[in-house]
């Protein structure tokens, strides 16, 4: 099957890129035509007994290709949907492999630990049969869209944060400020930056009726459970850092809602396009994603696609945090741009930060530098092969692409290349899914404005 896995359109700076969608779909096709096909049902249980399911077919003998297929599917499901208990309904050989792999002593130790932190439960794998996997039960919340009154919205990224003041849906103030939260050991750094930004926005309105926020990381009940923004905070100070939003709500005494930045991306797309069935992807310091189903509901999935695998090349660059390869952050973010610099033969100072490296590439792109263009073409190929991969896990009709990597001429190249891949390799997806980009201003601050609409408040 390996000869069938090569993409028709090669990534210019990453010729060994092996799209997950090609491997997965061709594996399933091969299995369905064999005599060894058996059903496999994966169930992920998370907070409050919520369960998501994924159904497929596998070879019953548990050959290496099957184990690779299932392991990568499990990884994608963990970070797209989330969960602390994994039900593996299928052959015992597969369940045992997943149990050993996804354990505190296995190669996916990082993933297990992150799920335990996110859901406050020990991560477990339950081996069972396909017909005994629990039924699906998803949270179905209609979120956002509240525009009346005087509102503040903020969006916290790893390299900058944005704040907007909104009166009855009209933006009266917006600001973008650089910061360096991931290297700060004192949680007061985070609090003081956010608080000062809120006060600057509030000065532009007669009152503040509600505050909504968008933040990188896993947010549960207005608390940060996992976030790269707080990576340097000592464990003993983490509770104070995690409760920063509740501290702010107490001080301002107005309704406050903070959601994962990916979900707010999806909300921003739904509001701007007046459409449902939205997958939003923001290419900033990392990859953020969010999902609104075709009924306009937020299902409560994790949607941390920065860690979800999209490249099955065994020699892909390793993510420094998770220790795994092929995750979305290294393909759809400033990290992706940085990864491709050597192949593009663009040299930058070793001590230059990722945001500045992106600016350097954008400057070269604006000057017509072909090396910079190759970086964006490569990201475009990544995107073209990943949209159908996402479509195998999410049922969406619209995709919103935004974030710093998508600004300027380079962003246009990314989208043009992605559409080229879709038209050639996945014509049905090209027809069924509309790709949208906001205008230049909305690309950079749209999440802050959408976040302002989260709380139910306003006069």
Q: What confidence tens digit (pLDDT) does each residue in 336-374 have?
A: 999 999 999 999 999 999 999 999 999 999 999 999 999
b vs e for 151-167, b when ≥16 Cβ sit within 10 Å of the residue's Cβ?
bbbbbbbbbbbbbbbbb
Residues 155 and 251 in one domain: yes
Residues 313 and 421 in one domain: yes
**CA-wise closest residue to 332 among 288, 278, 269, 390:** 288
Distance CA 122, CA 115 (A): 8
Instruction: Check residue 3 and give its pLDDT.
Output: 44
- End-of-domain residue from the set 244, 262, 280: 262
Residues 121 and 241 in one domain: no
Half-sphere exposure of 11 (CA within 13 A, CB side): 27
Residues 308 and 444 in one domain: yes
**CA-wise closest residue to 257 among 288, 298, 213, 304:** 213
Range of the domain at 46: 34-132
Residues 307 and 380 in one domain: yes
- End-of-domain residue from the set 76, 101, 132: 132
Residues 127 and 66 in one domain: yes
Q: Does 142 reside within a domain? A: no
Q: Does 248 reside within a domain? A: yes
Residues 239 and 313 in one domain: no
Six token digits for residue 9: 């359109």
Distance CA 263, CA 248 (A): 21
Whether pLDDT at 381 is above 90: yes
Whether pLDDT at 280 is above 70: yes
Whether pLDDT at 287 is above 80: yes
Whether pLDDT at 171 is above 70: yes
Long-range contacts at 73-76 (CB < 8 A, ≥ 24 apart): 73/24, 73/42, 74/42, 74/98, 74/102, 75/108, 75/111, 75/307, 75/308, 75/309, 75/324, 76/20, 76/308, 76/309, 76/393
**Residue 445 pLDDT class (50, 70, 90 cuts):** very low
CATH number of the CATH domain containing 250: 3.30.420.40
Q: Does 6 reside within a domain? A: no
Distance CA 403, CA 206 (A): 31
- Name, in order, each residue with C-beta under 8 angstroms of 118's C-beta and a sequence gap of 6 or more: 82, 84, 218, 220, 225, 226, 302
Whether pLDDT at 215 is above 50: yes
Distance CA 414, CA 331 (A): 12
Instruction: Check residue 142 and give its pLDDT.
Output: 65
Residues 89 and 175 in one domain: no
Q: Does 164 reside within a domain? A: yes
Using an 8 Å Cβ cutoff, are 289 and 280 in contact? Answer: yes
**Residue 314 pLDDT class (50, 70, 90 cuts):** very high
pLDDT, one tens digit per residue, over 87-135 is: 999 999 999 999 999 999 999 999 999 999 888 899 999 999 999 999 9
Bridge partners, residue 178, by sequence: 160
Segment 64-78 shows an average pLDDT of: 97
Least confident residue range of 137-141, 155-159, 172-176, 368-372: 137-141
Segment 249-259 shows an average pLDDT of: 94
- End-of-domain residue from the set 262, 287, 309: 262
Whether pLDDT at 68 is above 60: yes
Segment 283-291 shows an average pLDDT of: 89
Residues 165 and 217 in one domain: yes
Whether pLDDT at 379 is above 50: yes
Residues 277 and 376 in one domain: yes
Residues 227 and 292 in one domain: no
- Name, in order, each residue with C-beta under 8 angstroms of 141's C-beta and a sequence gap of 6 or more: 297, 298, 300
Segment 30-50 shows an average pLDDT of: 94
User: What does pLDDT average to over the chain?
Assistant: 92
Structural domains counted in the chain: 3
Q: Does 214 reside within a domain? A: yes
Residues 287 and 418 in one domain: yes
Using an 8 Å Cβ cutoff, are 310 and 389 in contact? Answer: yes
**CA-wise closest residue to 54 among 84, 81, 20, 85:** 81
- Name, in order, each residue with C-beta under 8 angstroms of 367's C-beta and a sequence gap of 6 or more: none
Segment 199-224 shows an average pLDDT of: 91
Distance CA 405, CA 294 (A): 27
Q: Does 97 reside within a domain? A: yes
Q: Does 395 reside within a domain? A: yes
Q: How far is CA 117 from CA 45, 138, 227, 233, 379, in A?
A: 15, 20, 11, 15, 32
Q: Does 360 reside within a domain? A: yes
Distance CA 269, CA 437 (A): 9
b vs e for 338-375, b when ≥16 Cβ sit within 10 Å of the residue's Cβ?
bbbbebbebeeeeeebbbebbebbbebbeeeeebbbbb
Q: How far is CA 413 from CA 106, 269, 366, in A?
A: 40, 21, 12
């Amino acid at each position: 099957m390996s000869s069938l896995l090569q993409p028709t359109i090669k990534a210019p700076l990453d010729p060994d890129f092996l799209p997950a969608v090609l491997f997965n779909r061709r594996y399933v096709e091969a299995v369905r035509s064999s005599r060894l096909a058996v059903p496999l049902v994966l169930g992920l249980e998370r907070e409050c007994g919520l369960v998501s399911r994924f159904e497929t077919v596998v070879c019953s003998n548990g050959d290496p290709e099957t184990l690779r297929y299932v392991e990568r599917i499990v990884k994608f499901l963990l970070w797209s949907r989330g969960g602390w208990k994994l039900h593996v309904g299928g052959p015992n050989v597969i369940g045992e492999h997943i149990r050993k792999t996804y354990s505190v002593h296995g190669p996916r130790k990082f993933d297990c630990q992150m799920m335990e932190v996110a859901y406050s439960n020990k991560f477990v794998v339950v081996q069972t049969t396909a017909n005994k996997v629990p039924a699906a039960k998803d949270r179905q919340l209609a979120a956002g869209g509240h525009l009346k009154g005087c509102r503040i919205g903020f969006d916290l990224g790893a390299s900058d944060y944005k704040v907007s003041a909104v009166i009855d849906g009209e933006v009266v103030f917006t600001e973008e400020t650089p910061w360096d939260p991931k290297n700060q050991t004192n949680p007061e750094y985070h609090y003081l930056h956010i608080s000062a930004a809120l006060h600057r926005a509030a000065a532009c309105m007669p009152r503040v009726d509600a505050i909504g926020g968008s933040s990188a990381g896993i947010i549960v009940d207005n608390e940060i459970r996992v976030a790269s923004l707080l990576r340097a905070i000592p464990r003993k100070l983490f509770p104070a850092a995690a409760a920063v939003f509740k501290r702010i709500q107490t001080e301002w005494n107005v309704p406050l809602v903070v959601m994962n930045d990916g979900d707010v991306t999806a909300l921003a797309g739904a509001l701007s396009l007046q459409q449902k069935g939205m997958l939003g992807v923001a290419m900033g310091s990392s990859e953020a994603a969010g999902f609104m189903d075709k009924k306009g509901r937020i299902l409560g999935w994790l949607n941390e696609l920065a860690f979800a695998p999209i490249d099955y090349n065994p020699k892909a660059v390793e993510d420094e945090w998770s220790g795994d390869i092929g995750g979305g952050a290294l393909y759809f973010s400033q990290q992706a741009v940085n990864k491709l610099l050597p192949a593009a033969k663009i040299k930058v100072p070793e001590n230059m930060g990722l945001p500045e490296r992106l600016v350097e590439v954008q400057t070269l792109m604006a000057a017509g530098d072909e090396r910079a263009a190759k970086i964006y073409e490569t990201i475009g190929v990544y995107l073209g092969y990943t949209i159908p991969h996402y479509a195998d896990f999410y049922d969406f009709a619209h995709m919103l692409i935004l974030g710093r990597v998508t600004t300027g001429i380079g962003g246009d190249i990314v989208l043009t290349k992605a559409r080229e891949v879709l038209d050639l390799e996945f014509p049905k997806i090209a027809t069924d899914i509309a790709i949208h980009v906001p205008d230049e201003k909305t690309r950079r601050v749209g999440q802050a404005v959408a976040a302002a609409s989260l709380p139910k408040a306003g006069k």
